Amino acid sequence: MVGEFRADILVENAVIVELKAVSQIAVQHESQLLNYLNATEYEVGLLFNFGPKAEYKRKVFDSGRKKYRPPHLRQSALSDSDPVD
């Protein structure tokens, strides 16, 4: 494990919420949220900025596209013709 994932808020064990208080949302903030989504089983993330102008971004990362998929998600993504580990 490279680091420890620690979301600002996790809603209903389904949505990662990242909170910022910066002048504007930067590409790095969006990348951080996408990396969290890619590294976890969660597919939906919200990025809120409470800077001078409030703004938000919604990101979705489908589990079928992830490099790492938790075991409980692997089987559902396989078709009948795909070999099983």
Using only C-alpha atoms, what is the Rg of the chain? Answer: 15
Task: List the single range of 3-7, 41-45, 78-82 with lowest mean pLDDT.
Answer: 78-82
CB 51 within 8 A of CB 24: yes
Q: Which residue has the higher pLDDT, 38 or 48?
A: 48
pLDDT above 80 (res 84): no
Q: How confident is the model at residue 83 (pLDDT cuts 50, 70, 90)?
A: very low
Residue type, position 43, single letter? E
> What average pLDDT does range 43-72 have in this prediction?
83
Strand order in the sheet with 55-60: 9-11, 15-20, 44-49, 55-60
